[in-house]
A and B are shown apart, each in its own frame.
Chain A
């Protein structure tokens, strides 16, 4: 009882020092949001059943038809690590390249980058994490070593005028280290940005974040990286993705990653859901009058297609609500 009272006193003391009016947080939202569709990569790589190459290609083509401005097509990594994406080169070569749409691919190291370029990649992405332990367990090296690998990719990419996006995992929590400090996220984001990444995607990898910690993290990062170069990548493991994304929009972020049909599970929580569903994100943005250039109807068709191919129900609530109409 005493501990609870003490905790309450501290909480109230914290509140007294906050004077901002509540409605000011419901600030001006961006007029346009760029949706980065990561379903074919982040989504599919978490699916157990291997999806045939033609199905992947068709999915990406349907997403292009829907008007998504950026579609992350695949990842050039060792098939031992991610068997699902062993057909990366074939997929990249097989998809239709719509004018005005970018098709970045993940290239965590130089070899992956070289393979990607050989397959026709025009944009790539590298990985970082706000957690030393996550980096060790996930890609088997230290954070510094991962920066070195990314740097090699960046230098090679710059030589070919290929833009590079940087991902930061575990920005709101780590499955191994637990809580992650906003300062650490800012440090990693700053490093990737100063190495030459044009955009930094901040990922709540295990979906543990809530709007308050999202705000704190973004405040810290925005001291080091301009908000126009930031994106958020929220997983919906605890149902918080859309609320967290809304908070990010209120902070001025205008690039959001999502996955059609909410594809992908979570390797850290069996049975849990994965990425924020693009359909549900689009529904919110459309309702807010924010321009995205994406056609919801065509997006729903792409979601239906991949859900059928995977033989499972979509994770998008919008798709669930409209499917019988």
Chain B
């Protein structure tokens, strides 16, 4: 805006500004002066749990095969950020449960609110998939392993187009009643907008308490943070994201994938919401994995900060 001088070299306090705005999440270092805190929006949850899906949803959508040792180092770096949930599991079928039980602390099952998507993605109808999941979830719970349920295409399907909120509720309710402790509602192709997010959540929340719900927004059309803000305003306090916004979209070539964890944390910090996550450390993990898979980050916070 206005005349643009060569201002970069004059921005003496820009690093200070970064420090003020990029909160350091852990105690001690850089404790924020409460008087300086940005005021919170009324009605928002005080704590938001971030579920990091980079190692799973992110990497599986990247063309480059990531060597195991890199994957391990990536996950180790993420473990030091304060993130309480880092998803490393992948699709489970009932035969695998005994092997998974050997090391798993949690499993996930992937349903869809679209019949076509279910058939194309996991080769069975929604009804059939639920029957299989029921077996898996019950076995897992029998072994004391909690199960998380995913509902894909919650705001739209690449094959069917519009998805009714009622269908999302039906599938979510089935997963919840079979024993999933949390249902992650996924805007798989990122077509949702705050209006459709609100309508869908209103419907699902008639059957499932908000405390058992999470949103999983893809940023294919740049709508993710706006949709997440809407979900927070509705009382949702669990959000999935992927460091560096890893992962593309198999349904839209050239499109972006998950919402970037860094950008999500930036917004949550600015809103005064507690996450327990250290943004700087997440950015380091992001920098590491982007170099490892040789791609530029999809996180705007990372783009703005590493070059500053």
Contact = CB atoms under 8 A, between A and B. Distances in A.
Nearest to B32: A7
Interface residues of A, number: 90
Interface string B170-200: 0000000000000000000010111110100
A210 interface: yes
Contacts of A39: none
A15 B234 contact: no
Contacts, number: 252
B20 A179 contact: yes
Interface string B264-308: 001101111010000000000000000000000001110111111
A172 B27 CA distance: 26
B252 A266 contact: no
A223 to B, nearest CB: 15
Query: Do most interface residues of chain A lie in helix, strand or loop, or is the interface mixed?
Result: mixed
Contacts of B39: 14, 212-213, 215-216
Q: What band does the interface of chain B fall in when counting residues whose beta carbon is under 8 Å from A?
A: 35 or more
Nearest to A146: B2
Nearest to B37: A11
B118 interface: no
B42 interface: yes
B300 A270 contact: no
A246 B230 contact: yes
A308 B193 CA distance: 29
A175 B267 contact: no
B142 interface: no
B57 interface: no
A247 B229 contact: yes
Interface in B32-52: 32, 34, 36-44, 46
Contacts of B221: 280, 283, 317-318, 321
Nearest to A6: B34
B244 interface: no
Contacts of A287: 192-196, 223
B152 interface: no
Query: Do most interface residues of chain B lie in helix, strand or loop, or is the interface mixed?
Result: loop
Given A19-B42, A108-B3, A138-B5, A243 B304 contact: no
A23 B254 contact: no
A284 interface: yes
Contacts of B240: none
A272 B299 CA distance: 10
A26 B253 contact: no
Given A176-B11, A239-B266, A26 B230 contact: yes
Contacts of B301: 238-239
Contacts of B28: 1, 3-4
B222 A318 contact: yes
Interface in A265-293: 266-273, 277, 280, 283-284, 286-289
B12 A18 contact: no
Interface stretch (A86-94, A115-123, A187-195, A201-209): A201-209
B298 to A, nearest CB: 9
B189 to A, nearest CB: 9
> Which of A137, A178, A283, A286 lies at the interface centre, i.e. has the most chain B CB atoms within 10 A of its CB?
A178
Given A7-B32, A175-B17, A288-B193, A138 B225 contact: no
Contact of A273 (B6, B42, B228, B300): B300
Nearest to A273: B300
Interface in A135-186: 137-139, 167, 169, 173-179
Given A7-B31, A238-B301, A321-B221, 5 more contacts: A10-B34, A14-B272, A243-B226, A317-B219, A321-B255
Interface of B: 1-8, 10-14, 16-17, 20-21, 26-28, 31-32, 34, 36-44, 46, 190, 192-196, 198, 219-223, 225-226, 228-230, 233-235, 249, 252-256, 260, 263, 266-267, 269-272, 274, 299-301, 303-308
